[in-house]
């Protein structure tokens, strides 16, 4: 074997050994970081301006959840995930990532949310071939008390996302762009209040009625129910155990889109 060939052989062996010893990204943490399952009956109105009709148009939609609007999202817990390992709150805080630490994470109790979006569509929210639905940006903050006087330090952030309505629920699914859970998935699911007379315009515009409103629909009133939730995930298809578990999964056994 020539000197050059021997050098190439040795270098190739070193490269393969280094590859074998390199950490695998598949071992990175994934799973739920925080999940809120709010008490049933918390009203969350969402004004729409100037309003939606049977003709595609642009409107603004806003959502405000918090002590100032009297509709605090409660029952929030930093779950920390289990696959492949529990959330490393203290290690992340030491390294400047998700700076809350384990004590801060354990104190998370309630959440506030402000979100503003532009809607291009019609009054049934599913829209037609021209519709683009609703998308926008917002901010969230976690607190350790129901009165929301005690912010959990570093447990807030910003996100962008889409709003959609399906059947009796509305959902916000987005990406965290700043702060707690940076790069993670932000999701909320809230029930549309079918018993609220102010929702008559939206309800009649949907199946099976398909009635065009006499004037534009200017509000959709929602409220929490048994399926409502707010969650932040380091998302992975491996966590998809069934349809809507977690929210955006379409199948199960780690094979769905999560």
> What is the per-residue pLDDT across 58-99, written as a single tens digit (0 to 9) for each?
999 999 999 999 999 999 999 876 555 688 999 999 999 899
Nearest to 133 by CA among 192, 176, 188, 173: 173
Report pLDDT for 13: 44
Domain range for 49: 29-239
Instruction: Assess if residue 23 is contained within a domain.
Output: no
Nearest to 108 by CA among 55, 60, 44, 151: 151
Report pLDDT for 67: 95
Torsion over CA: 13, 15, 16, 20 (sign): positive
Instruction: Assess if residue 173 is contained within a domain.
Output: yes
Instruction: Assess if residue 19 is contained within a domain.
Output: no
Instruction: Assess if residue 13 is contained within a domain.
Output: no
Ranges of the chain with pLDDT below 70:
1-26, 81-85, 166-167
Report pLDDT for 143: 98
Do the bridges between strand 185-192 and strand 217-223 make them parallel or antiparallel, or are there none, so unpaired?
antiparallel
CA-to-CA dists, residue 18 to 4, 6, 153, 227, angstroms: 21, 18, 40, 48
Nearest to 71 by CA among 246, 200, 193, 203: 193
Nearest to 147 by CA among 75, 222, 70, 224: 70
Residues 230 and 245 sit within 8 Å (Cβ to Cβ): no
Nearest to 233 by CA among 154, 157, 175: 175
Instruction: Assess if residue 249 is contained within a domain.
Output: no
Instruction: Assess if residue 120 is contained within a domain.
Output: yes
Spatial distance between the Cα atoms of 213 and 75, rounded to a whole number of angstroms: 38
Spatial distance between the Cα atoms of 121 and 85, rounded to a whole number of angstroms: 43
In degrees, rounded to 5, the angle at the alpha carbon of residue 135 between the alpha carbons of residues 167 and 44 is 55
Instruction: Assess if residue 107 is contained within a domain.
Output: yes
**Number of domain units in the chain:** 1
Instruction: Assess if residue 118 is contained within a domain.
Output: yes
Reduce the secondary structure of 150-209 to three states and give it as a string: CEEEEEEEEEEEEEEEECCEEEEEEEEEEECCCCCEEEEEEEECCCCHHHHHHHHCCCCC
Report pLDDT for 58: 95
């Amino acid at each position: 074997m020539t000197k050059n060939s021997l050098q190439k052989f040795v270098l190739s062996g070193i490269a393969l050994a280094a590859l074998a010893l390199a950490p695998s990204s598949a071992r990175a943490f994934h799973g739920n970081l925080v999940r809120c399952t709010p008490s049933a009956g918390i009203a969350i109105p969402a004004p729409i301006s100037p309003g939606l009709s049977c003709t595609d148009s642009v409107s603004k939609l806003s959502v405000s959840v918090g002590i100032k609007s009297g509709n605090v999202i409660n029952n929030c817990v930093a779950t920390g995930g289990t696959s492949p390992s529990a959330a490393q709150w203290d290690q992340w805080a030491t390294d400047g990532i998700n700076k809350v630490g384990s004590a801060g994470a354990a104190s998370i109790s309630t959440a506030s949310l402000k979100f503003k979006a532009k809607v291009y569509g019609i009054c049934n929210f599913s829209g037609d071939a021209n519709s683009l639905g609703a998308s926008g940006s917002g901010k969230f903050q976690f607190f350790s008390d129901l009165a929301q006087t005690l912010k959990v330090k570093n447990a807030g952030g910003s996100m962008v996302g889409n709003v959609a309505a399906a059947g009796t629920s509305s959902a916000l699914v987005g990406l965290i762009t700043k702060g707690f859970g940076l790069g993670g998935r932000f999701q909320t699911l809230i029930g549309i209040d079918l018993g609220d007379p102010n929702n008559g315009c939206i309800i009649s515009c949907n199946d099976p009625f398909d009635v065009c409103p006499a004037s534009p629909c200017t509000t959709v009133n929602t409220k929490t129910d048994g399926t409502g939730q707010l969650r932040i995930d380091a998302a992975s298809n491996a966590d998809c155990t069934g349809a809507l578990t977690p929210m955006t999964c379409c199948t199960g056994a780690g094979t769905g889109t999560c």
